[in-house]
């Protein structure tokens, strides 16, 4: 490095607008990079995450509820959850394990209901957007299931989450946005939660072969609050084997 400089050049005055644009660009790139990293990580290293539902029968109930599993399975496990809920995130491995052992083997169905708690209005908005994306491209709801949990755990759960995922999901974001203005599926899920005395997430209820839903009762105990352990779910399922 030269030790003497014959003349000094004045630094250019800072340009606030330019700085904001640069910072905004960096933040945007960081969000996109985070989404790409999570998608790649899930697809390459987590065999129970993205794509785990692809080969399972998918259906919707008369009220729009999302269900996976053999239509002839004798019982349905219903989960009320919020992607942004920390306890729901912790409970995700339990439900993935249940899916592997009982849903994929045709012994049970799995019904997922969105109940905004930790995520509040944001979860309600994203939930209705996701339903609209499902109507565009069947299978999208379940494909996004674990992706949304992973993004929430990574701190990338906001109003742009599904915009950033729309290309990965293969749907038109703007069309979903228009559709979401009149979509009421999350309201339906919330009404069902109230009917079944569900006031927090995660929460588990069961539906018998006739379609009637109620509490999970095992050995005289009702598991109405929080997510029952995998052991409890397994012992409950033993009566159907």
Domain spans in the chain, listed from the N-terminal domain onward: 22-240
Residue among 78, 50, 67, 189 at smallest CA distance from 124? 189
pLDDT exceeds cutoff 60 at 91: yes
Split at pLDDT 50, 70, 90, the class of 4 is: very low
Residue 131's H or E segment, with its range, is: helix 120-136
Q: Which helix (H) or strand (E) holds 173?
A: helix 173-180
Residues 34 and 156: beta-carbon distance below 8 Å: yes
* pLDDT greater than 50 at residue 14: no
**Tens of pLDDT along 152-202?**
999 999 999 999 999 999 999 999 999 999 999 999 999 999 999 999 999
Pairing type for strands 66-68 and 58-60 reads antiparallel
Contacts of residue 91, Cβ cutoff 8 Å, sequence gap at least 6: 81, 202, 227
**Helix, coil or strand: residue 29:** helix
DSSP state for residue 66 in the 8-state scheme: E
Cβ neighbours around 207 below 10 Å, total: 20
3-state SS assignment for residue 115: coil
Which tokens in the block code for residue 19? Answer: 């700085």
pTM (two decimals)? 0.80
Report whether pLDDT(104) > 90. yes
Which burial class, exposed, middle or buried, applies to 121 when counting CB atoms under 10 A from its CB (0-12, 13-18, 19+)? exposed
Q: What is the dihedral of CA 126, 129, 134, 135, to 10 degrees?
A: 160
Per DSSP, the three-state class of 113 is: strand
Q: Mean of the per-residue pLDDT values for the chain?
A: 85
Q: Is the peptide bond before 202 cis (omega within 30 degrees of 0)?
A: yes
- Give the residue-averaged pLDDT of 112-137: 97
Please give the CATH number for the structural domain made up of 22-240. Answer: 3.40.30.10
Higher-pLDDT residue of 89 and 48 is 89
How far apart are alpha carbons 130 and 179 in whole angstroms? 10
Nearest-CA neighbor of 97 among 116, 77, 73, 113?
77
């Amino acid at each position: 490095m030269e030790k003497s400089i014959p003349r000094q050049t004045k630094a250019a005055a800072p340009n606030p607008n330019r700085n904001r644009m640069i910072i905004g660009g960096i933040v945007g790139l960081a969000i996109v990079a985070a989404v790409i990293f999570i998608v790649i990580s899930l697809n390459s290293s987590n065999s129970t995450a993205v794509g785990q539902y692809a080969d399972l029968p998918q259906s919707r109930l008369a009220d729009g509820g999302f269900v996976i599993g053999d239509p002839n399975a004798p019982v349905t496990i219903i989960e009320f959850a919020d992607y942004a809920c920390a306890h729901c995130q912790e409970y995700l491995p339990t439900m993935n394990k249940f899916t592997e052992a009982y849903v994929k083997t045709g012994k049970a169905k799995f019904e997922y209901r969105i109940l905004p708690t930790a995520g509040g209005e944001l979860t309600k908005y994203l939930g209705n957007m996701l339903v609209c994306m499902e109507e565009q491209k069947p299978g999208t709801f379940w494909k996004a299931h674990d992706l949304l949990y992973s993004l929430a755990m990574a701190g990338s759960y906001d109003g742009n989450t599904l915009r950033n995922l729309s290309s990965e999901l293969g749907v038109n974001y703007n069309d979903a946005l228009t559709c979401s203005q009149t979509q009421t599926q999350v309201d339906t899920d919330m009404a069902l939660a109230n009917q079944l005395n569900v006031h927090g997430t995660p929460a588990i209820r069961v539906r018998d072969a006739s379609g009637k839903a109620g509490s999970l009762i095992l050995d005289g105990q009702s598991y109405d609050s929080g997510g029952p352990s995998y052991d409890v779910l397994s012992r409950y399922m033993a009566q159907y084997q």
